[in-house]
């Protein structure tokens, strides 16, 4: 029984490692790529005149005059944690995380525009105390991705514009978990009995967007970002265990792949006044592509005389999820002062059986605000968004690996510095 539990624990750890962007679902899907966009709740599928819009819809490039260069950064600070059935509480020790982004665009003529994006849209990190009660599920888990995304846009022709792009994503990842091996022998009590999984891989995809502006006061947009397959062919599995267990758990390599979700977005933006715009968006993320994990080990785990476990597989059965976004952009004083407000509702894609402390996902609500100013071609924006995760309680009877209640609030602060020439 202990051997089976250990195998499942390693499989789950490997799954969370390689599938970090999908395994954390909405909690590891990063959309906060500029302060102006964050203030509008990322409701940008129909465009808002800044180069960040090309992530949501590459066709937005056709509606931006001149050239733009901008740099943004967003910090994430987590508050909350886990509460067991007896009322004992544990909080993560992750600390504040900073994520940078870069966007540029240039409209070559009245029918052709180009853009370049460098961003992180999957990532972040979770770290728990090394000796806490859930150490066999999570001590540390994290993934860093970096995507280079050139885009081109054609139009508008009779109100229509179309944009396409190519995505090259690099991901590096790590998972550290404890192993339930029992009491260490005398003289070997310092061994932490952990498994440490690390790897890196490239993946490739595409994006396409369409916009239609039938009148000055309204514009519609739809876009699609393809799923990206991340395949690790030489990931490492390192065991740090007491000497009696070392022969059963040799350090080795693994091969595995995961299909990140397809994303479909649609929205409509209205201009009731020249200096005021409102947008309503919907986003569909195909998390159901994350249904199972399969890992091929180079040496295997020794389960008994002549018996090895060479393949680890675990079902996840995530569900497709919808996000609703609404945003406002109001230029109160022309060029000198802009106010932006937004709100998001994020559907939870994670079934109870897949919830664990690595990042327990739940439905989330997010109000947003930002302010910005311009001086000649220079513009600066700042924004804040609290991410309220609705309390989630899971039980062993529901299939969860660890029963308890999870509470979370994430404080997102963002800034953007950019330059526009026309």
Give per-residue pLDDT as tens, 345-364: 998 887 877 777 776 678 88
Task: State CA 106 to chain mean position distance.
Answer: 28
* pLDDT number for residue 14: 36
Q: Give, in order, the Cα–Cα distances in Å from 138 to each of 156, 192, 264, 355, 362.
A: 50, 14, 32, 12, 18
Mean pLDDT of the region 88-99 = 88
* pLDDT number for residue 26: 54
Domain 2-421 adopts which CATH fold?
Answer: Porin (2.40.160)
Handedness of CA 331, 333, 335, 337 (dihedral sign): negative
Helix, strand, coil in percent for the chain, rounding step 5:
10, 60, 30
Q: Given a cut of 80, is residue 9 above it in pLDDT?
A: no
- Going by C-alpha positions, the residue among 60, 59, 55 that lies closest to residue 30 is 55
Confidence category of residue 2, pLDDT binned at 50, 70, 90: very low
Backbone angles phi, psi at 208, to 5 degrees: -145, 145
Give bridge partners of residue 315 from the DSSP assignment: 292
Tell the residue number behind the tokens 């393949």, with chain if given.
Answer: 311
Burial zone of 216 (CB within 10 Å; 0-12 exposed, 13-18 middle, 19+ buried): exposed
The two three-digit tokens of residue 408, written as one number = 């979370």
Backbone angles phi, psi at 244, to 5 degrees: -65, -20
* Residues, the chain: 422
Give per-residue pLDDT as tens, 311-350: 877 777 778 889 999 999 999 998 899 999 999 999 888 7
* pLDDT number for residue 48: 80
pTM, entire model: 0.87
Give per-residue pLDDT as tens, 226-248: 999 888 889 999 999 988 888 88
* pLDDT number for residue 31: 87
Q: What is the CA radius of gyration of the chain?
A: 23
* pLDDT number for residue 406: 87
- Going by C-alpha positions, the residue among 296, 394, 399 that lies closest to residue 348 is 394
Burial zone of 3 (CB within 10 Å; 0-12 exposed, 13-18 middle, 19+ buried): middle
Distance in angstroms (rounded) separating the CA atoms of residues 128 and 132 = 7
Distance in angstroms (rounded) separating the CA atoms of residues 75 and 58 = 26
Measured in Å, how far apart are the chain's first and last C-alpha atoms?
A: 69
Task: State CA 34 to chain mean position distance.
Answer: 15
All residues at 6 or more sequence positions from 184 whose CB lies less than 8 Å from its CB, including other chains: 190, 191, 193, 242
* pLDDT number for residue 189: 65
């Amino acid at each position: 029984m202990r051997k089976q539990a250990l195998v499942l624990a390693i499989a789950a750890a490997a799954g969370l490692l390689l599938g970090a962007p999908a395994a954390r679902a909405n909690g590891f899907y990063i959309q906060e790529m500029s302060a102006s966009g964050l203030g509008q709740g990322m409701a940008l599928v129909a465009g808002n005149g800044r180069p960040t819009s090309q992530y949501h819809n590459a066709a937005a490039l056709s509606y931006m005059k001149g050239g733009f260069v901008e740099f943004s950064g967003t910090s994430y600070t987590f508050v909350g944690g886990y509460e067991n059935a007896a009322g004992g509480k544990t909080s993560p020790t992750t600390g504040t995380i900073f994520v940078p982004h870069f966007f540029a665009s240039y409209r070559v003529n009245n029918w052709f525009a180009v853009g370049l994006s460098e961003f992180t849209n999957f990532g972040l990190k979770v770290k728990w105390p090394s000796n806490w009660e859930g150490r066999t599920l999570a001590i540390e888990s994290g993934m860093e991705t970096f995507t280079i995304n050139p885009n081109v846009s054609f139009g508008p022709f009779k109100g229509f514009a179309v944009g396409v792009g190519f995505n090259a994503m690099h991901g590096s990842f790590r998972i550290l978990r404890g192993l339930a091996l029992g009491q260490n022998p005398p003289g070997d009590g310092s061994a932490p009995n952990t498994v440490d999984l690390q790897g890196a891989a490239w993946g490739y995809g595409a994006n396409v967007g369409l916009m239609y502006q039938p009148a000055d006061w309204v514009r519609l947009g739809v876009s699609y970002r393809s799923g990206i397959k991340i395949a690790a062919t030489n990931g490492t599995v390192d065991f740090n265990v007491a000497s009696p267990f070392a022969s059963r758990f040799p350090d080795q390599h693994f091969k595995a792949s995961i299909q990140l979700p397809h994303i479909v977005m649609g929205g409509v933006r209205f201009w009731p006044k020249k200096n005021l715009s409102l947008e309503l968006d919907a986003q569909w993320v195909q998390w159901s592509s994350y249904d199972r994990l399969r890992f091929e080990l180079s040496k295997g785990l020794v389960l008994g005389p002549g018996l090895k476990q060479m393949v680890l597989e675990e079902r996840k059965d995530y569900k497709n999820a919808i996000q609703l976004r609404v945003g406002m952009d109001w230029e109160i004083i022309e060029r000198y002062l802009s106010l932006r407000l937004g709100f998001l509702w994020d559907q939870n894609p994670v079934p109870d059986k897949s919830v664990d402390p690595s990042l327990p996902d739940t439905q989330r609500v997010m109000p947003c605000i930002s302010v910005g100013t311009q001086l000649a071609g220079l513009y600066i924006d700042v924004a804040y968004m609290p991410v309220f995760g609705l309390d989630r309680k899971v039980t062993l009877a529901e299939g969860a690996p660890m029963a308890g209640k999870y509470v979370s609030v994430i404080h997102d602060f963002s800034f953007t510095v950019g330059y526009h020439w026309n």
